């Protein structure tokens, strides 16, 4: 029975952040400007308006204006100063008993513009120290090679990832970090959330939407180029150290039918299948017919060479990492196959950012991915962004505990039913700048960071109630949730 199910003793409990949301130090150590560094905070916009801004992407003129802007605040340039505080921050995570720590290497610390002939040694030395500290504290480093940190020069000069030259530049960067950490890092995620081109097109592809004639076509070409670059790095890793595990990562955006009407059921099925296309290509090594049909029907021509087909077929990925936050529904009377065309589920509660709280969806997602691919799974992100209030010097975040407890129970149920899940990374175990909104007050952490949306505050770290709860979860290997 599920209540007697025991998680394997070697399970990797931990958490995840991204370099661009945490490190700060944007002008230190030879770092260049990335796409994250032009993400401006808008204090007068609502949460929904801010999220729509993300879906709209950026124009060339917006990028240039933001680079020249001396008045606005760009939170991801400053993060939580993890560049300088990582030593003690990691010690707090180790105090909880973390077995893994996931972060990313910022491409612009290694190749500031993406085009340099030689890597920036000062940037590599920072990651030497960071990874050594993770290992010293008994944690398995899980490293993303790209987590929304494409050099801004690549957007302006090459128009983003739809240009094949960018895949070559990324491959060069990827080889450098695989060589450097081949004996220290076992688990790699090549590209974070490779499927989120609808919700975060600029983050995903670095394409300014006025730099191309057909934006949808350009984004699918960009993703194809990312598939090929990932396969090439998988092939390279086999030579450098065959023990390294090369993973891909998607954000789960499962939808349910809005009703039992056959039209709703069919639309939900087709929308979900178009999400599996990203992983079908990387695990089966070829494009599925349903995706090719979609491209043909929507006049999307992707440049796929015979060499591309061979590299994809011969270098499938080792494991699947997913981020899971929410689900939506598909209503055939008003929704389409477009990724962002969904209807909120009236049967579940939502966060202040409109993200449905649905732990059962995690069970369904994990089980579906396992049944489809029979490849090891990692929950690379999961968490609840909320406004936290300090009361009498403490933060009583029972809502976060309740959310995570329910989702971990769903994970255990999937494992009980056979899914091979080897790691769980709570998102933002220490408060960081929000990816989607650039807000600091959208908090996920077990550890509070005293900074507001405009960077004001002491930066002091403080444990929340969830800190001790998660420590107990790890101590009992998930027996006490």
Q: What is the 3-state secondary structure (H, E, C) of 429-477?
A: CECCCCCCCCCCCCECCCEEECCCCCCCCCCCEEECHHHHHHHHHHHCC
Give the number of C-alpha atoms closer than 13 A to the C-alpha of residue 104, restricted to the C-beta side: 27
Q: What is the pLDDT of residues 388-397, one digit of tens each?
A: 999 999 999 9
Look at residue 480 and tell me if it is in a domain. no
Residue 114 region, left (φ>0) first, then alpha (ψ -120 to 50), else beta? left
The two structure tokens encoding residue 279: 């992983």
Flag whether 447 is in a domain: yes
Tell me which of 69 and 1 has the higher pLDDT. Answer: 69
Residues forming a β-bridge with 350: 356
The DSSP output letter for 117 is S
Closest CA to 102 of 140, 138, 137: 140
Q: What is the Cβ-side half-sphere exposure of residue 66, based on CA atoms within 13 angstroms?
A: 23
On whether residue 149 sits in a domain, the answer given is yes
pLDDT digits (tens, 9 = 90+) for 6-38: 999 999 999 999 999 999 999 999 999 999 999
- Whether 168 is in a domain gets the answer yes
Q: What is the pLDDT of residue 52?
A: 73
- Rounded to an integer, the average pLDDT of 256-271 is 98
Residue of higher predicted confidence among 13 and 354: 13
Q: For residue 310, count other CB atoms closer than 10 A to its CB.
A: 12
What was the pLDDT predicted at 1? 61
**Residue 108 clears pLDDT 70, i.e. is over it:** yes
DSSP per residue, 173-212: HHHHHHHHTTTT--EEEEETTTTTTTT-HHHHH---TTSS
Residues 6+ apart with CB under 8 A from 28: 83
DSSP at 256: E
Q: How confident is the model at residue 459 (pLDDT cuts 50, 70, 90)?
A: very high
Closest CA to 449 of 24, 99, 29: 24
Q: Are 256 and 268 in contact (CB under 8 A)?
A: yes
Mean pLDDT value of segment 428-454:
96
Q: Are strands 255-257 and 245-251 parallel, antiparallel or unpaired?
A: unpaired
* pLDDT (average), residues 201-224: 95
How deeply is 460 buried, as exposed, middle or buried, from its count of CB atoms within 10 A (0-12, 13-18, 19+)?
exposed
What's the pLDDT tens digit per position in 165-181?
Answer: 999 999 999 999 999 99
The span from the CA of 75 to the CA of 42, in Å, is 10
Arithmetic mean of pLDDT, 102-107 = 98
104 CB neighbour count, 10 Å cutoff: 24
* Residue 11 located in a structural domain: yes
Give the domain CATH number at 414: 3.20.20.80
Rg, Å, the chain Cα set: 21
Within-domain flag for 49: yes
Quickly list H helices, 285-397: 289-297, 306-314, 359-373
Q: Exposed e or buried b for every residue in 8-43, given b needs 16+ CB within 10 A?
A: eeebbbbbbbbbbbbbbbbeebbbbbbbbbbbbbee
The pTM score is: 0.97
Token pair in block for residue 164: 């094949």
- Mean model confidence pLDDT for the chain: 96
Strands 245-251 and 187-191: parallel
Please list the residues that pair with 136 across neighbouring strands. none
Look at residue 343 and give its three-state secondary structure.
strand
Domain span at 20: 2-475
Give how many domains the chain has, as a whole number: 1
Is residue 481 in a domain?
A: no
Pairwise CA distance, residues 264 & 465, whole Å: 42
**What's the distance, Cα to Cα, between the start and end of the chain in Å?**
17
User: Average of pLDDT values for 137-162?
Assistant: 98
Position 50 scores a pLDDT of 74
Q: Is the pLDDT of residue 47 over 80?
A: no
Residue 403 within a domain: yes
Phi first, then psi: what are they for 123, rounded to 5°?
-65, -45
* Cα 469 to Cα 481: distance, rounded to the nearest angstrom: 8
């Amino acid at each position: 029975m599920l209540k007697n199910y025991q998680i394997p003793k070697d399970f990797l409990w931990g958490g995840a952040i991204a370099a661009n949301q945490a490190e700060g130090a944007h002008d230190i150590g030879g770092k260049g400007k990335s796409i994250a560094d032009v993400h401006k905070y808008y204090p007068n916009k609502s949460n929904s308006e801010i999220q729509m801004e993300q879906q709209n992407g950026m124009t060339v003129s917006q990028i240039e204006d933001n680079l020249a802007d001396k008045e606005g605040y760009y939170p991801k340039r400053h993060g939580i100063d993890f560049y300088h505080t990582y030593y003690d921050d990691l010690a707090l995570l180790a105090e909880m008993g973390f077995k893994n720590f996931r972060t990313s290497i910022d491409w612009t610390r290694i190749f500031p513009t993406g085009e340099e002939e030689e890597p920036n040694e000062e940037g590599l030395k920072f990651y030497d120290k960071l990874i050594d500290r993770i290992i010293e504290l008994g944690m398995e480093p899980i490293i993303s090679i790209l987590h929304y940190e494409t050099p801004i020069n690549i957007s302006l000069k090459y128009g983003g990832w739809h240009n094949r030259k960018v895949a070559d530049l990324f491959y060069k960067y990827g080889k450098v970090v695989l060589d450097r950490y081949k004996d220290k890092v076992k688990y790699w995620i090549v590209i974070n959330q490779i499927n989120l081109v609808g919700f975060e097109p600029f983050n995903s592809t670095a394409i300014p939407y006025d730099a191309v004639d057909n934006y949808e076509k350009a984004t699918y070409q960009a993703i194809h180029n990312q598939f090929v670059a990932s396969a090439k790095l998988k092939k390279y890793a086999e030579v450098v150290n065959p023990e390294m595990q090369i993973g891909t990562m998607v954000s789960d955006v499962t939808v349910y039918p809005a009703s039992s009407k056959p039209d709703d059921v069919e639309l939900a099925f087709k929308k979900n299948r178009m999400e599996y296309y990203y992983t079908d290509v990387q695990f089966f090594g070829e494009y599925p017919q349903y995706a090719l049909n979609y491209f043909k029907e929507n006049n999307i021509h992707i440049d796929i060479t015979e060499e591309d087909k061979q590299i994809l077929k011969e270098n499938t990925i080792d494991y699947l990492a997913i981020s899971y936050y929410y689900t939506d529904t598909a209503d055939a009377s008003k929704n389409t196959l477009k990724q962002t065309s969904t209807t909120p589920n009236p049967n579940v509660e939502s966060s202040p950012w409109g993200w449905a709280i649905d732990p059962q969806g995690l069970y369904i997602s994990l089980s579906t991915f396992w049944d489809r691919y029979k490849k090891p799974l990692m929950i690379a992100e999961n968490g609840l962004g909320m406004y936290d209030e300090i009361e009498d010097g403490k933060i009583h975040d029972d809502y976060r505990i309740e959310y995570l407890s329910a989702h971990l129970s769903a994970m255990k149920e999937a494992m009980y039913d056979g899914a091979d899940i080897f790691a769980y990374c709570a998102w933002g175990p220490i408060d960081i700048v929000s990816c989607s909104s650039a807000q600091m007050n959208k908090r996920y952490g077990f550890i509070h960071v005293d900074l507001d949306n405009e960077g004001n505050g002491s930066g002091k770290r403080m444990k929340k109630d969830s800190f001790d709860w998660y420590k107990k979860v790890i101590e009992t290997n998930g027996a006490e949730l």
